[in-house]
Amino acid sequence: MILHTLLDYEILRIIWWLLLGVLLIAFAVMDGFDLGVATLLPFVGREDVERRVVINTIGPVWEGNQVWLILGGGAIFAAWPPLYAVSFSGFYLAMFAILFALILRPVGFKYRSKRESALWRTSWDWALFIGGLVPALVMGVAVGNVLQGVPFHLGDDLRIFYDGTTLFELLNPYGLLAGLLSVAMLVMHGAGWLTLKTSGTVNARARRFGMAAAVATVALFAIGGLWLTVIDGYRITSVVDPNGPSNPLYKTVEVASGVWFENYAAHPWMLVAPVLGFLGALGSLAAFAAKKDGVPWLFSSVSIIGIISTVGLSIFPFILPSNVDPRSSLTVWDASSSHMTLFIMLVCAVVFVPIIIAYTSYVYKVLWGKVEEKDVTDPSTHAY
């Protein structure tokens, strides 16, 4: 209880904002290359054996990688209930599309090689492609809409009302740009993984696609940043009590262009995030060109960390702005669970997250090494 007293409400809110960012970045880094590899599958593998090699680079690890998505969703549910309520109800159709695409992945892995038919296997290959492309695209579109504000408002009793209409309103120009950036970023990441885990023709094709994706990542990230200068951002104009109750309606919010860049002017150290986004992608491009197996994956991880951090730092302290009632916007200071809930969750995270990291590290150590054609054609290996 002494520690509970020392960690006041403000500190716990900041810790859980940081932890949410860490969990989302961990998902993008760990499961992101799975999505990127699946998106590349029909293109880097031209023959059945080559595609089996590609599948077996992620087949043994994708389930463990997806733990970070579950942890992120759980953290939103427990630490930021209003955020969970708005995003998982307002973005319901988008979430359903992601869920449907993700379901294709385990089914595709298990059923693809059940029959020798070329049509059967090719169909499942494209299903795996959808399972990689759709989540990457839709998650990016969602982030693009967060930066523009989401159509919801709160009633006087804090009931949440989503004022959007259809899934297609999310597919606005800036949302689609963010979606394409997400796809390019994860394809770059997946290509980097393939250079680490494959050799020969598949490795060479992955490098070529990785270089194109790295260039696209740099270009789209730059365009997105420039475009953001003319998009309305949100600024709290009332006094903020970091230890106050979780009631978004207690504040007033101003809407103006270029606001999302104010944090960088006030805190120049935050510029590290976009710099890492660019340098990581450029480093990945150089490593692909130099044929440094595995190094592109490390640089693409840096790029992912930088790009996602850029979004979080740009909109802080907002976590979900409202474009129909700015006062209803959710922030770090007014959308969290109680002090005690955040503390109990922090204790659980301190205990269980290191266990997950240790187990994941052990699995990757056991599975280290390249996947060769002989590994998937030898019946004793039980490969996909």
Q: What digits encode the pLDDT tens for the residues 271-313?
A: 999 999 999 999 999 999 999 998 999 999 999 999 999 999 9
Name residues whose C-beta falls within 8 Å of residue 187's C-beta, 6 or more positions apart in sequence.
36, 39, 40, 136, 209, 210, 213
Cα separation values, 325 from 102, 238, 255, 329, Å? 33, 15, 10, 7
pLDDT tier at 3 (50, 70, 90 boundaries)?
low
Which amino acid appears at position 70 of this protein?
A: I
- Strand, helix or coil at 256? strand
- Other CB atoms within 10 Å distance of the CB of residue 200: 12
Beta bridge partners of 256: 233
Q: How confident is the model over 218-266, as pLDDT tens digits?
A: 999 999 999 999 999 999 999 988 998 899 999 999 999 889 999 999 9
State which residues form the domain around 366. Answer: 2-381
pLDDT band at 4 (very low <50, low <70, confident <90, very high): low
pLDDT one-digit tens code per residue, 21-64: 999 999 999 999 999 999 999 999 989 999 999 999 998 888 88
Residues 61-96: tens digit of each pLDDT: 888 888 898 888 888 989 999 999 888 877 888 888
Q: What pLDDT was estimated at residue 282? A: 97
Residue 304 CB burial class (10 angstroms; 0-12, 13-18, ≥19):
buried
**What is the distance between the alpha carbons of residues 164 and 160, in angstroms, rounded to a whole number?**
12
Identify the burial level of 113 via C-beta atoms within 10 angstroms of its C-beta, where 0-12 means exposed, 13-18 middle and 19 or more buried. middle
pLDDT score recorded for residue 1: 54
Mean pLDDT (the chain, rounded): 91
pLDDT on residue 295: 94
> Higher-confidence residue: 62 or 137?
137
Q: What's the structural domain count of the chain?
A: 1
Q: Which two tokens stand for residue 191?
A: 């290509």
Out of 92-106, 122-136, 208-222, 289-303, least confident range: 92-106
pLDDT (average), residues 337-342: 92
> Strands 232-236 and 160-162: what pairing?
unpaired
- Residue 351's pLDDT is 92
pTM score: 0.93
Instruction: In whole angstroms, give the CA distance from residue 248 to residue 20.
Output: 19
pLDDT for 197 beyond 80: yes
Query: What pLDDT is recorded for position 63?
Result: 85
- Most confidently predicted of 113-122, 159-168, 206-215: 206-215
What angle in degrees, to the nearest 10, is found between the helix axes of 32-44 and 200-228?
Answer: 120
